[in-house]
């Protein structure tokens, strides 16, 4: 652990966000593991993309606890079958609750990071456009 390295902090942020972001991607429709990673890369502009080894335990947890279903994609010929994940109604409810939790928390995270200066939507958009 080296707390003076940017990757250390990004890794901690990814750990906290990954399960929520996987739920978000699956709330948009069925996806296989690689498709989830690609969607996360697009969604976060590459900022918060977990490794393969990170999302598969999350997908396993979601399926074992009834939040997602998994089916094998038989459309692929001559290659490995892909496992396609879909949120169940319980998974959609979990996503809605997680979304509300993040929405109610993010303004205060910004406030803490910005030394009590509230960060307004236009400021956030400006910061994101610089990426």
pTM of the model: 0.80
Of 96, 98, 128, 89, the residue nearest 110 (C-alpha)? 128
Q: What is the pLDDT of residue 19?
A: 93
Supply the pLDDT for residue 98.
95
The CATH code that applies to domain 6-129 is 1.10.10.10
Domain limits, the chain: 6-129
pLDDT tens string for the chain (131 positions)?
899 998 888 888 888 889 999 999 999 999 999 999 999 989 888 887 787 788 999 999 999 999 999 998 766 555 667 899 999 999 999 999 999 999 888 878 877 887 766 666 677 677 667 75
Which tokens hold the place of 18? 């990954």
Q: For position 121, what pLDDT does the model report?
A: 64
Per-residue pLDDT at 95 = 97
31-32 and 68-73: which strand pairing? unpaired
Tell me, what's the pLDDT at 51? 77
Compute CA distances 35 → 30, 46, 61, whole Å: 9, 14, 18
Query: Among the residues of the chain, which ranges form H helices?
Result: 6-27, 33-43, 52-64, 89-113, 121-129
């Amino acid at each position: 652990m080296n707390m003076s390295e940017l990757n250390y902090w990004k890794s901690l942020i990814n750990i906290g966000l990954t399960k929520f972001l996987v739920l978000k991607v699956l709330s948009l429709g069925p996806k296989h593991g690689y498709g989830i990673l690609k969607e996360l890369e697009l969604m976060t502009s590459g900022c918060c993309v977990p490794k393969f080894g990170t999302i598969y335990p999350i997908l396993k947890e979601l399926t074992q606890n009834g939040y997602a279903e998994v089916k094998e994609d038989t459309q692929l010929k001559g290659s490995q079958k892909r496992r396609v994940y879909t949120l169940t109604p319980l998974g959609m409810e979990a996503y809605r609750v997680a979304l509300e939790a993040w929405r109610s928390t993010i303004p205060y995270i910004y406030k803490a990071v910005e030394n009590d200066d509230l960060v307004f939507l236009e400021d956030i958009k400006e910061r994101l456009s610089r990426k």
